[in-house]
Chain A
Amino acid sequence: MTALISWLVLPLFAALAAIALPSRARLPAALLGVGLTVVASIWLTIEVWNTGAVTVSLGGWRPPIGIALRADGLGAALGVMTALVMVAVALAARHELAAKVAGPRIGFGFWPLMLLLWAALNAVYVARDLFNLYVGLELITLTAVALVAISGKAAAIAAALRYLLFALAGSLLYLAGVVLTYAAHGTLDISLLAARTVAPGDALALGLMTAGLLVKTALFPFHVWLPPAHSAAPAPASALLSALVPKASLLILLRIWFEAMPELATPMTQSALASLGALAVIWGGVLALLQSRLKLIVAYSTVAQLGYIFLVFPLAGGDGAAQPWAAGAWTGAIFQMLAHGLAKAAMFLAAGIYIAAIGSDRLGDMRGLARALPMTGFAFALASITLLGLPPSAGFTAKYLMMTAAFASGQWAWALVPAGGGLLAAAYLYRPLSAIFARDTALTPRPIPWAWQTVPLVLAALSVALGLLSSIPFEFLQIGRPEQAAEGL
Chain B
Amino acid sequence: MSLVLDMALCALILGVGLATVAGHGVFRAVIFFITYGLLLAIGWARLGAYDVALAEAAISAGLTGVLLLAAHGRLRRLRAAEEAPLRPNLPAALVATGIALALGWAWFALPDPTAPDLTAALPQSGVGNPVTAVLLNFRAWDTLLEAIILLAALIGLWMLARDRAWDNPLGLRYHARAGGVMASFGRVLPPIGLIFGIYLVWAGAEMTGGAFQGGTVLAAVCLVSIMADVLPAPRIAQPAWRLALVFGPGVFLLSGVAGAVFAQGFLALPPELAKPAIVTIEAALTLSIAVTLVLLVIGPPDEGGQDA
Stretch at the interface among B12-20, B178-186, B255-263: B255-263
Task: Check A20 for interface membership: any CB of B closer than 8 A.
Answer: yes
Contact of B265 among A8, A60, A119, A200 (CB under 8 A): A60
Measured between alpha carbons, how far is A157 from B243 in the docked complex, in Å? 28
Residues 468-486 of chain A, each 1 if its beta carbon lies under 8 Å from chain B, else 0: 0000000000000000000
Is the CB of B121 closer than 8 A to any CB of chain A? yes
B109 at the interface (CB under 8 A from A): yes
On whether the beta carbons of B265 and A59 are closer than 8 Å, the reply is yes
B46 within 8 A of A: no
15 more contacts with CB within 8 A, not counting A5-B260, A131-B139, A183-B106, are A9-B253, A12-B148, A19-B245, A59-B266, A59-B268, A67-B139, A105-B159, A116-B152, A132-B145, A135-B149, A142-B152, A143-B156, A149-B156, A149-B160, A201-B109
Please classify the interface of chain A as helix (H, G, I), strand (E, B), loop, or mixed, using the class held by over half of its residues: helix
Report A147 CB to chain B, min CB distance, Å. 8
Provide the bound-state CA to CA distance between A157 and B76, in Å.
19
Indicate whether A420 reaches chain B with its CB closer than 8 angstroms: no
> Per a CB cutoff under 8 Å, which of B166, B239, B257, B266 touches A105?
B166
Q: A113 near B: Cβ within 8 Å? A: yes
Give chain B nearest CB distance to A346 CB in angstroms. Answer: 25
B152 with A20: CB separation less than 8 A:
no
- A157–B160 CB distance below 8 A: yes
Taking the closest CB of chain B, its distance from the CB of A109, in whole angstroms, is 5
- Indicate with 1 or 0, residue by residue over B51-85, a CB within 8 angstroms of chain A CB atoms: 00000000000000000000000000000000000
B304 on the interface (CB 8 Å rule)? no
The reply to whether A149 and B159 contact each other, CB–CB distance below 8 Å, is yes
Contact B138 A66 (CB under 8 A): yes
- 1/0 per position for A1-39, CB-CB distance to B under 8 A? 110010011001101110110100000000000000000
CB of A407 closer than 8 Å to a CB of B: no
Binding site for B on A (CB under 8 A): 1-2, 5, 8-9, 12-13, 15-17, 19-20, 22, 56-61, 64-67, 103-106, 108-109, 112-113, 116, 119-120, 123, 129, 131-132, 135-136, 138-139, 142-143, 145-146, 149-150, 152, 157, 176, 180, 183-187, 197, 199-201, 204-205
Question: Which B residues lie at the A interface, using CB under 8 A?
Answer: 99, 102-103, 105-106, 109-111, 113-116, 118, 121, 137-142, 145-146, 148-149, 151-153, 155-163, 166-167, 236, 239, 242-243, 245-246, 249-250, 253, 256-257, 259-260, 263-269
Inter-subunit contact A20/B242 (CB<8 Å): yes
Partner of A200, one of B109, B163, B245: B109
A9 & B257 in contact (Cβ 8 Å cutoff):
yes
Let me know if B243 and A20 touch, CB within 8 A: yes
Residue contacts A-B, CB under 8 angstroms, 29 given: A9-B257, A12-B249, A15-B148, A19-B245, A20-B242, A20-B243, A66-B138, A66-B139, A108-B158, A120-B145, A123-B141, A131-B142, A132-B145, A135-B142, A135-B146, A139-B145, A139-B148, A142-B149, A142-B153, A146-B156, A150-B159, A152-B159, A186-B114, A186-B115, A187-B114, A197-B111, A199-B111, A200-B106, A201-B110
Say yes or no: A152-B162 contact (C-beta < 8 A), given A67-B141, A138-B149, A201-B106. Answer: yes
Considering the complex of A and B, which 6 residue pairs feature the smallest CB-CB distances, nearest first?
A146-B156, A186-B114, A64-B116, A16-B246, A200-B109, A201-B106
Bound complex: CA of A25 vs CA of B160, how far in Å? 23
Whether A186 touches B142, Cβ cut-off 8 Å, given contacts A61-B121, A152-B162, is no
Chain B residues in 8 Å Cβ range of A104: 163, 166-167
Q: A186-B116, A199-B110, A201-B109 are in contact. Are A132 and B141 (CB under 8 A)?
A: yes
Nearest-CB residue, chain B, relative to A117? B152
Are B138 and A65 in contact, with the CB atoms below 8 A? yes
> Chain A residues near B243 (CB, 8 Å)?
20
Say yes or no: A19 contacts B155, CB within 8 Å.
Answer: yes
Contacts of A66 in B (CB 8 A): 138-139
Is B142 a contact of A132 with CB atoms below 8 Å? yes
B159 touches A16 (CB 8 A): no
Q: How far is the CB of A29 from chain B (nearest CB, A)?
A: 12
Which of chain A's residues have a CB closer than 8 A to the CB of B269? Answer: 59
Taking a contact as CB atoms under 8 Å apart, the answer to whether A16 and B253 are in contact is: yes
Q: Are A61 and B149 in contact (CB under 8 A)?
A: no
**Distance A200 CA – B269 CA, assembled complex (angstroms):** 38
Contact between A16 and B249, CB atoms less than 8 A apart: yes
Complex: A273 Cα to B148 Cα, angstroms = 33
Q: How far is the CB of A161 from chain B (nearest CB, A)?
A: 10
Looking at the assembled complex, report how far the CB atom of A64 sits from the nearest CB atom of chain B, in whole angstroms: 4
CA distance A54 to B115 in the complex (A): 27
Collect the chain B residues with CB atoms within 8 Å of residue A138's CB.
Answer: 149
Contact A105 B116 (CB under 8 A): no
Measured between beta carbons, the chain A residues less than 8 angstroms from B103 are 176, 180, 204
Q: Is the CB of A5 within 8 A of B106?
A: no
